[in-house]
């Protein structure tokens, strides 16, 4: 069991809050400081994005943070260097999230090993095909104790969701709608029907809902149906403020009063 | 099954596949399941061929370029894709895909475009079929290619500026993919080249393969043998080249020459010579060769030709390159511009600067005298007149 598994296993009635942010943004060396601040503010786990030049699943806010991070000099090598002493400062479960090409250039096996060395618990690579994970990379993930997180959208078929459930070892990342990141979510009846449909499938993995979660209301409504929810763009937008450090407790507080 | 064609898993050798986020999976899977069945159906083929004949103006001529042949001491044929409706080979693919979109019941069409040729070809077929059309185009390209923007708008398309990243073709493609993620049910994405997740590279190659199918027939009529010694074409993403090579892939006697844009010189830092400068990686949904940093960030390419400055090549090209089945050459801006002027002066044909890259390669080839060389003249140069005028100071 890694930290992610333990978190969900022991969560009780809590609504799990995860925060996504881009490594190397707003400044190259802000990555671990932000993690520490988020832990203090009461966040349950973190998704640290490693930037890519062509983030097709992302809306303008995360595109911008990725561009800035690359401009600041962030690479996977730099990130793993920054995370070397992560576990002296932060105890939260941590996932790395990004696109497949930087991982391929780094080397998938080597990437998994580096994750383990710095204490990363799981990985989200939305454009890594399921078949390639199954055929080529699963042993590298498992040997290094990494959860590979798959996404599910309202259009994902039931058979595919069952297959994803069988392959998942951390949680299932349920997209609130088929959309790029950063669209504010208005929870509609359709969406609640979709959340209930997934809940009623009684999957073996916990569910966390992401994309469009930006307010307390959306967080609560999402976690009425799921174990947790993920806030990304809304937090990345906060980081654009020069005094973001002081604002983190208040921002997190709105979700966890 | 040809070793150069896509296998049942969607790969050409180790290139291709579908590296897409889950949000695109249902769309791409729907296409993958249905494309062959739809496009191989007799009714579809009849409709496709009827439109290519009556609307596009096919077959395009195979023109024996006499004065060009004399200059190079061999027999050169130009496959006149520049004479197609809308002025380039791009329309072969958009006709095919718009019919396919109709069969899939899609109501809304999106596309990316660089120079605007594919955007115009897409806007054209959408007008023809009465479908809503949104074209993504880099903000910089919108400024550079005003006449094509006007054409698209006149045909009723909405042209949306891609303002992310480098604001050119690669970013327009990203924006189109984002649109598709946000509109997963009613929208079909007409990709303009042999790139993207499987089945796009294979599907686009099939629609463009009419180029080599006609060439074979026309060569047989004109020369008594259907296979040339050389087939030469320019490569950005590589759709006209794939169309030109398609029916010759399994005949090793036909030498295939693909010409990339070397920009200001392969190693000048301003180039689009992907097979030389690139490494294996994933961009826009497929594993191929692409220009990238050691960290896997995509490098923005450069060419004077807006249709060739793409940082990757289609996965089938990557495989033809790796296996050595096709030769990949590169031509600089200067070489291409002079080849464009040469064709104009010798044959009275103004080629697109893209196609001029293929023509420039003739200067570098050594011929025996009685060989048959087919060059794909993928587009006409009207859109490039400003560039030619500035370059030569006319």
Q: Count Cβ atoms below 10 Å from residue B42 Cβ, excluding itself.
A: 7
Domain's final residue, options B173, B204, B235: B204
Q: DSSP for A57-90, please give it.
A: T--HHHHHHHHHHHHHT--HHHHHHHGGGHHHH-
Same domain, yes or no, for B31 and B156? yes
B376: pLDDT strictly greater than 80: yes
Judged by a CB distance cut-off of 8 A, whether residue B281 touches chain A is: yes
Judged by a CB distance cut-off of 8 A, whether residue B279 touches chain A is: yes
**Angle, in degrees to the nearest 10, between helices B353-361 and B333-347:** 90
Per the CB < 8 Å rule, is B20 touching A127?
yes
**Residue A231 Cα to chain centre, angstroms:** 9
Q: DSSP for B173-227, please give it.
A: HHHHHHHHHHSTTTEEE---SS-SSTTHHHHHHHHHTHHHHHHHHHHHHHHS-S-
Give the residue-averaged pLDDT of B205-230: 98
Q: Which of A44, A58, A68, A227 is catalytic?
A: A58
Where in A1-131 does DSSP place strands (E)? 16-22, 45-49, 94-97, 122-124
Nearest CB neighbour to B295, from listed A75, A160, A183: A75
Judged by a CB distance cut-off of 8 A, whether residue B17 touches chain A is: yes
Residue B294 inside a domain? The answer is yes
| Distance spanning both ends of chain A, measured CA to CA | 29
Residue B7 inside a domain? The answer is no
Same domain, yes or no, for B214 and B355? yes
**Angle, in degrees to the nearest 10, between helices B200-208 and B25-39:** 30
Give the residue-averaged pLDDT of B68-90: 97
All domains in chain A, ordered by first residue: 15-253 (3.20.20.70)
Give the residue-averaged pLDDT of B177-187: 94
Residue B357 inside a domain? The answer is yes
Same domain, yes or no, for B279 and B149? no
pLDDT tens for each residue of A137-192:
999 999 999 999 999 999 999 999 999 999 999 999 999 988 898 887 777 788 88
Same domain, yes or no, for B239 and B265? yes
Q: Count Cβ atoms below 10 Å from residue B138 Cβ, excluding itself.
A: 27
Same domain, yes or no, for B350 and B264? yes
Judged by a CB distance cut-off of 8 A, whether residue B285 touches chain A is: yes
Location of structure tokens 């809503």: B132
**Best to test chain A binding among B15, B163, B295, B312 (most A CBs inside 10 Å):** B295
CATH number, domain with residue B150: 3.40.50.1100
Give the residue-averaged pLDDT of A64-75: 97
Q: How many domains does chain B have?
A: 2
Same domain, yes or no, for B216 and B184? no
A134, A67, A70, A137: which is closest to A103 by C-alpha?
Answer: A137
Which residues of chain B have a CB within 8 Å of the CB of A99? Answer: 282
Domain's final residue, options B174, B204, B234: B204
Same domain, yes or no, for B142 and B33? yes
Per the CB < 8 Å rule, is B181 touching A100?
no
Residue B373 inside a domain? The answer is yes
| Cα B135 to Cα B158: distance, rounded to the nearest angstrom | 6
Same domain, yes or no, for B62 and B167? no
Per the CB < 8 Å rule, is B181 touching A155?
no
Residue B8 inside a domain? The answer is no
pLDDT at B115: 85
Nearest CB neighbour to A105, from listed B182, B185, B294: B294
pLDDT at B1: 63
B99, B149, B93, B156: which is closest to B121 by C-alpha?
Answer: B93
Residue B70 inside a domain? The answer is yes
Residue B3 inside a domain? The answer is no
Q: What is the mean pLDDT of chain B?
A: 96
Give the residue-averaged pLDDT of B351-356: 97
Dihedral angle sign, alpha carbons of residues B366, B371, B376, B377: positive
Helix (H, G, I), strand (E, B) or coil at B287: strand
Judged by a CB distance cut-off of 8 A, whether residue A155 touches chain B is: yes
Inter-residue contact B236 to B230 (CB < 8 Å) = no
Q: Please report the number of interchain residue pairs, chain A to chain B, with beta-carbon separation below 8 angstroms.
A: 109
Same domain, yes or no, for B67 and B105? no
Same domain, yes or no, for B169 and B134? yes
| Distance spanning both ends of chain B, measured CA to CA | 52
Q: Which of A33, A36, A44, A47 is catalytic?
A: A47
Per the CB < 8 Å rule, is B283 touching A175?
no
Supply the ipTM of this predicted assembly. 0.95
Per the CB < 8 Å rule, is B165 touching A54?
yes
Domain's final residue, options B157, B187, B204: B204
- Domain span including residue B319: 58-88+209-392
Per the CB < 8 Å rule, is A156 touching B22?
yes
pLDDT tens for each residue of A42-65:
999 999 999 999 999 999 999 999
Same domain, yes or no, for B345 and B283? yes
Residue of A nearest to B282 (CA): A101
| Cα B261 to Cα B305: distance, rounded to the nearest angstrom | 8
Q: Count Cβ atoms below 10 Å from residue B253 Cβ, excluding itself.
A: 8
A25: pLDDT strictly greater than 70: yes
Per the CB < 8 Å rule, is A57 touching B182?
no
Nearest CB neighbour to A102, from listed B22, B164, B295: B295
| Cα B377 to Cα A167: distance, rounded to the nearest angstrom | 50
**Residue B341 Cα to chain centre, angstroms:** 22
Residue B349 inside a domain? The answer is yes
Give the residue-averaged pLDDT of B279-294: 97
Give the residue-averaged pLDDT of B354-374: 96
Helix, strand, coil share of chain B (percent; to 5): 45, 20, 35
- The reply to whether A47 belongs to the active site is yes
Per the CB < 8 Å rule, is A101 touching B170?
no
| Cα B280 to Cα B269: distance, rounded to the nearest angstrom | 19
pLDDT at B144: 80
Give the residue-averaged pLDDT of B15-31: 96
pLDDT at A184: 74
Q: Write out the catalytic residue numbers of B.
A: 90, 112, 378
pLDDT band at B145 (very low <50, low <70, confident <90, very high): confident
pLDDT at A177: 87
B333, B242, B241, B284: which is closest to B136 by C-alpha?
Answer: B284
Same domain, yes or no, for B80 and B197? no
A257: pLDDT strictly greater than 80: no
Which residues of chain B have a CB within 8 Å of the CB of A156? Answer: 22, 25-26
Judged by a CB distance cut-off of 8 A, whether residue A151 touches chain B is: yes
Cβ contacts of A42 within 8 Å, gap of 6 or more: A17, A252, A253, A256
């Amino acid at each position: 069991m890694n930290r992610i598994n333990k978190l969900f296993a022991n969560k009780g009635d809590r609504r799990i809050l995860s925060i996504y942010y881009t490594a190397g943004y707003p400044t190259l060396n802000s990555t671990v400081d932000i993690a520490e601040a988020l832990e203090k503010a009461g966040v349950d786990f973190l998704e640290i994005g490693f930037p890519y030049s062509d983030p097709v699943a992302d809306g303008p806010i995360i595109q911008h943070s990725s561009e800035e991070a690359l401009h600041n000099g962030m690479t996977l090598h730099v990130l793993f260097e920054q995370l070397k002493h992560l576990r002296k400062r932060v105890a939260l479960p941590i996932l790395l999230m990004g696109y497949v090409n930087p991982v391929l250039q780094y080397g998938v096996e080597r990437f998994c090993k580096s994750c383990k060395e710095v204490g990363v618990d799981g990985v989200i690579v939305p454009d890594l095909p399921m078949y390639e994970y199954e055929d080529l990379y699963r042993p590298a993930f498992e040997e290094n104790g990494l959860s590979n997180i798959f996404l599910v959208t309202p259009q994902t078929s039931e058979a595919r969701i069952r297959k994803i459930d069988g392959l998942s070892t951390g949680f299932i990342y349920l997209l609130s709608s088929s959309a790029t990141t950063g669209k504010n979510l208005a929870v509609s009846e359709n969406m609640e029907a979709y959340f209930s449909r997934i809940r009623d499938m009684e999957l073996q993995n916990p569910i966390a809902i992401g994309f469009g979660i930006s307010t307390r209301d959306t967080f609560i409504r999402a976690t009425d149906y799921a174990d947790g929810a993920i806030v990304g763009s809304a937090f990345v937008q906060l980081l654009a403020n020069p005094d973001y450090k002081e604002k983190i407790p208040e921002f997190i507080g709105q979700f966890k009063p | 099954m040809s070793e150069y064609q896509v296998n049942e898993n969607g790969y050409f050798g180790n290139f291709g596949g579908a590296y897409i986020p889950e949000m695109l999976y249902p769309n791409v899977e729907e296409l993958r399941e249905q494309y062959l069945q739809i496009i191989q159906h007799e009714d579809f083929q009849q409709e496709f061929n009827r439109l290519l004949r009556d609307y596009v103006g096919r077959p395009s001529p195979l023109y024996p370029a006499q004065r060009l042949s004399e200059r190079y001491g061999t027999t050169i044929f130009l496959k006149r894709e520049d004479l197609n409706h809308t002025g380039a080979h791009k329309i072969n693919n958009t006709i095919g895909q718009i019919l396919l979109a109709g069969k899939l019941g899609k109501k809304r069409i999106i596309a990316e475009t660089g120079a605007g040729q594919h955007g115009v070809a897409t806007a054209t077929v959408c007008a023809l079929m009465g479908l809503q059309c949104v074209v993504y185009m880099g903000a910089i390209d919108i400024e550079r290619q005003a006449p094509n923007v006007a054409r698209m708008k006149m045909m009723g398309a909405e042209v949306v500026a891609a303002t992310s990243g480098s604001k050119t073709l690669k970013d327009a493609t990203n924006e189109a993919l984002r649109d598709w993620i946000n509109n997963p049910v009613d929208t079909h994405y007409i990709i303009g080249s042999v790139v993207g997740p499987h089945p796009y590279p294979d599907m686009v190659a099939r629609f463009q393969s009419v180029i080599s199918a006609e060439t074979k027939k026309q060569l047989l009529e004109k020369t008594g043998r259907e296979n040339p010694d050389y087939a030469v074409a320019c490569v950005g993403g590589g759709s006209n080249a794939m169309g030109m090579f398609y029916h010759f892939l399994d005949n090793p006697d036909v030498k295939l020459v693909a010409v990339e844009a070397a920009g200001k010189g392969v190693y000048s830092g301003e180039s689009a010579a992907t097979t030389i400068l690139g490494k294996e990686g994933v961009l826009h949904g497929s594993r191929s060769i692409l220009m990238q940093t050691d960290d896997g960030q995509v490098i923005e390419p450069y060419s004077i030709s807006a249709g060739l400055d793409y940082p990757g090549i289609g996965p089938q090209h990557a495989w033809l390159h790796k296996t050595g089945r096709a030769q990949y050459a590169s031509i600089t801006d200067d070489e291409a511009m002079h080849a464009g002027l040469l064709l104009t002066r010798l044959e009275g044909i103004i080629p697109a600067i893209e196609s001029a890259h293929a023509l420039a390669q003739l200067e570098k080839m050594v011929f025996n005298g009685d060989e048959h060389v087919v060059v794909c003249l993928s587009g006409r140069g009207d859109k490039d007149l400003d560039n030619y005028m500035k370059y030569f100071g006319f």
